[in-house]
């Protein structure tokens, strides 16, 4: 048997353990917000890594506002050193979005049925954490001498930006160029797709300032909500069609997300609707927008386009506007010749018998922190689970996908450590 065959056979043999481990993770309701049960989950992963012989560190996001006594932000990193070869870091976030309505099973029950594991966060991305852990375990059980170092981290808050999670590890130098060679994030992008990045994000808040007046004589005031209405009209009638006409060469999936987009996240103006009403012209209206921009557009262009539309709405209404940047994430793209893409592609051909499809994610994920803060360019997302099921009711992951992804991650890890040359 070749090394790959031995490793793959160990993954198959561990199927029940991998499923049980995934279901156990699902049963820890690490819901974000607010960031519940993080420490319990970090300890669960850390204790398991320790039992398997990993050196384990717990890294709490000290100094960040969201790291509180009630909801501590605790990350865990395990490492197993082999030879002097490269460091391959497998990172999974263990926070999950709230269950929401519409479930036919207990979202935190860890239900296994008909070849699937069900639960909130099972595909996004607790199955991915299990795949990372058992990829390392299968290499060990196959008796393969590890040519490099394998690291496995479980991190917090990816769903809310990852600042206390991967960004924190990167700021602390725990994931860093010179220390970390390759990063694979087992997010659910489908078992035969490698995710090489994402579009840019520009979240901004627009405030429209009118002038208070008596509601019976609105012509003596200046209604901020009307001003915002004008801006929304310009956005809907002019900006949205212009954005839809811009297409990126990056293979974003689904195809609808291959264009620039804008969404209005929220709006708030005038008197609170549930409060006692008085006859007043609204003097303030605020809205938050989510603009996804393409690598071809760039941030500065996207931002100045917004500024121009806002000044047109201002000129047309007399309402004064200001714009406040809330969050900027630059587009990220793994270099096309990155060894991490090639290693996963080779492993996929071996395990699935077909080449990898390269895709980019419609939303952002922790890749951005690895690329920008840690300055590690060789990062991709690859893991089990179907992208479209993430954040849905009755989220599930197919056991077949989980097993195949575990094999592919194991073989790619060895390949990246360059000891695995038995094609």
Residue 66 binds Zn ion, judged by CB under 5 A? no
Minimum distance from residue 230 beta carbon to Zn ion (Å): 38
Three-state SS across the chain?
Answer: CCHHHHHHHHHHHCHHHHHHHHHHHHCCCCECCCCCCHHHHHHHHHHHHHHCCCEEEEEECCCCCCCCCCCCCEEEEEEEECCCCCEEEEEEECCECCCCCCCCCCCCCCCEECCEEECCCHHHHHHHHHHHHHHHHHHHHCCCCCCCEEEEEEECCHHHCCCCCHHHHHHCCCCCCCCCCEEEECCCCCCCEEEEEECEEEEEEEEEECECCECCCHHHCECHHHHHHHHHHHHHHHHHHHHHCCECCCCECCHHHHECEEEEEEEEECCCCCCCCCCECCCEEEEEEEEEECCCCCHHHHHHHHHHHHHHHHHHHCCEEEEEEEEEECCEECCCCCHHHHHHHHHHHHHHCCCCEEEEECCCCCHHHHHHCCCCCCEEECCCCCHHHCCCCCCEEEHHHHHHHHHHHHHHHHHHCCCCCCC
Classify each residue of 16-41 as buried b or exposed e, where b means 16 or more C-beta atoms within 10 Å of its C-beta: eebbebbbebbebbbbbeebbbbbeb
Return the number of the residue (86 or 186) whose C-beta is nearest Zn ion.
186
Return the number of the residue (225 or 405) whose C-beta is nearest Zn ion.
405
Return the number of the residue (10 or 187) whose C-beta is nearest Zn ion.
187
Return the number of the residue (157 or 187) whose C-beta is nearest Zn ion.
187
**CA trace torsion 361, 364, 366, 372 (10° rounding):** 110
Return the number of the residue (185 or 340) whose C-beta is nearest Zn ion.
185
Contact call for residues 416 and 340 (beta carbons, < 8 A)? yes
Residue 195 binds Zn ion, judged by CB under 5 A? no
Binding mask 132-171 for Zn ion (x = CB under 5 A): ----------------------------------------
Tell me how far apart the alpha carbons of residues 383 and 401 are, in angstroms, rounded to a whole number: 9
Minimum distance from residue 303 beta carbon to Zn ion (Å): 27
Minimum distance from residue 59 beta carbon to Zn ion (Å): 19
Return the number of the residue (125 or 399) whose C-beta is nearest Zn ion.
125
Minimum distance from residue 229 beta carbon to Zn ion (Å): 36
Minimum distance from residue 305 beta carbon to Zn ion (Å): 30
Return the number of the residue (124 or 314) whose C-beta is nearest Zn ion.
124
Minimum distance from residue 368 beta carbon to Zn ion (Å): 13
Minimum distance from residue 317 beta carbon to Zn ion (Å): 41
Query: Segment 284-343, which members bind Zn ion (CB under 5 A)?
Result: none
Minimum distance from residue 93 beta carbon to Zn ion (Å): 6
Where does this chain touch Zn ion (CB under 5 A) — which range of 15-23, 145-153, 184-192, 304-312? 184-192
Contact call for residues 282 and 243 (beta carbons, < 8 A)? no
Where does this chain touch Zn ion (CB under 5 A) — which range of 19-27, 181-189, 258-266, 352-360? 181-189
Minimum distance from residue 187 beta carbon to Zn ion (Å): 5
Where does this chain touch Zn ion (CB under 5 A) — which range of 47-55, 187-195, 202-210, 398-406? 187-195
Count other Cβ atoms within 10 Å, centred on residue 183: 28
Minimum distance from residue 385 beta carbon to Zn ion (Å): 9
Return the number of the residue (127 or 310) whose C-beta is nearest Zn ion.
127
Return the number of the residue (8 or 125) whose C-beta is nearest Zn ion.
125
Return the number of the residue (147 or 393) whose C-beta is nearest Zn ion.
393
Residue 124 binds Zn ion, judged by CB under 5 A? yes
Residue 125 binds Zn ion, judged by CB under 5 A? yes
Minimum distance from residue 166 beta carbon to Zn ion (Å): 11
Where does this chain touch Zn ion (CB under 5 A) — which range of 42-50, 186-194, 308-316, 396-404? 186-194
Binding mask 17-56 for Zn ion (x = CB under 5 A): ----------------------------------------
Return the number of the residue (125 or 356) whose C-beta is nearest Zn ion.
125
Where does this chain touch Zn ion (CB under 5 A) — which range of 78-86, 180-188, 261-269, 328-336? 180-188
Number of residues that bind Zn ion (CB under 5 A): 3
∠ CA 293-167-110, nearest 5°, is 95
**Binding positions for Zn ion, rule: CB under 5 A:** 124-125, 187
């Amino acid at each position: 048997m070749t090394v790959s065959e031995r490793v793959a056979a160990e993954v198959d043999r561990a199927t029940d353990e991998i499923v049980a481990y995934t279901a156990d993770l699902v049963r820890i309701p690490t819901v974000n917000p607010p960031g519940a049960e993080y420490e319990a989950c970090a300890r669960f992963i850390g204790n398991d890594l320790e039992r398997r012989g990993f050196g384990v560190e717990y890294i709490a996001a000290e100094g960040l506002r969201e790291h509180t006594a009630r909801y501590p932000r605790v990350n865990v990193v395990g490492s197993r050193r082999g030879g002097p070869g490269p460091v391959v870091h497998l990172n999974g976030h263990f926070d999950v979005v709230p269950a929401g309505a519409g479930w036919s099973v207990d979202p935190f029950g860890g239900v296994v049925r008909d070849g699937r594991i069900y639960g909130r966060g099972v595909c996004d991305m607790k199955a991915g954490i299990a795949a990372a852990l058992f990829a390392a375990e299968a290499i060990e059980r196959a008796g393969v001498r590890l040519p490099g170092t394998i690291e496995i981290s479980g991190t917090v808050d990816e769903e809310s930006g990852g600042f206390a999670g991967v960004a924190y590890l990167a700021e602390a130098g725990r994931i860093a160029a010179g220390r970390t060679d390759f990063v694979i994030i087992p997010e659910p992008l489908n078992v035969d797709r490698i995710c090489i990045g994402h579009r840019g994000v520009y979240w901004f808040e627009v405030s429209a300032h009118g002038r208070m007046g008596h509601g019976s004589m609105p012509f003596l005031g200046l209604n901020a909500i009307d001003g915002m209405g004008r801006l929304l009209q310009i956005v809907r009638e002019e900006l949205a069609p212009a954005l839809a006409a811009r297409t990126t060469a990056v293979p974003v999936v689904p195809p609808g997300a291959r264009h620039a987009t804008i969404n209005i996240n929220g709006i708030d103006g005038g008197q609170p609707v549930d409060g006692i009403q008085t006859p007043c012209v609204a003097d303030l209206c605020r809205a938050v927008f989510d603009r996804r921009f393409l690598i071809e557009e760039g941030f500065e262009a996207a931002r100045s386009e917004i500024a121009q539309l806002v000044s047109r709405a201002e000129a047309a209404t007399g309402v004064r506007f200001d714009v406040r940047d809330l969050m900027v994430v630059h587009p990220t793209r793994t270099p096309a010749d990155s060894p991490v893409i090639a290693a996963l592609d080779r492993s996929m051909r071996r395990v699935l018998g077909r080449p990898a499809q390269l895709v980019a994610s419609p939303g952002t994920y922790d890749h951005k922190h690895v690329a920008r803060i840690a300055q590690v360019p060789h990062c991709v997302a690859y893991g089990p689970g179907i992208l479209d099921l993430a954040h849905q009711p009755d989220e599930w992951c197919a056991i077949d996908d989980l097993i195949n992804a575990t094999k592919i991650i194991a073989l790619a890890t060895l390949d990246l450590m360059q000891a695995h040359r038995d094609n």
